[in-house]
Amino acid sequence: MTKVDDKYRRYYERKPIASKRMKTTPKHNQRIATMTFTSVYPHYIAKVEKKGRTKEELHDVIKWLRGFDEKKLQELIDEDVSFEVFFQRAAYLATKQKLIVP
Q: The pTM is what? A: 0.67
Q: Is residue 3 assigned to a domain?
A: no
* Non-local CB neighbours of 87 within 8 Å, separated by 6+ positions: 66, 93
As for how many domains the chain has, the answer is 1
List, for residues 37-74, the tens digit of each pLDDT value: 999 999 999 999 999 999 999 999 998 888 899 999 99
> What domain range is 88 assigned to?
36-96
Q: Other C-beta atoms within 10 Å of 86: how many?
A: 23
List, for residues 6-25, the tens digit of each pLDDT value: 555 555 565 555 555 667 88
Q: Is residue 88 assigned to a domain?
A: yes
Q: Is residue 27 assigned to a domain?
A: no
Q: Is residue 89 assigned to a domain?
A: yes
Q: Is residue 81 assigned to a domain?
A: yes
Q: Is residue 52 assigned to a domain?
A: yes
Nearest to 77 by CA among 58, 92, 64: 58
* Non-local CB neighbours of 45 within 8 Å, separated by 6+ positions: 55, 58
Q: Is residue 10 assigned to a domain?
A: no
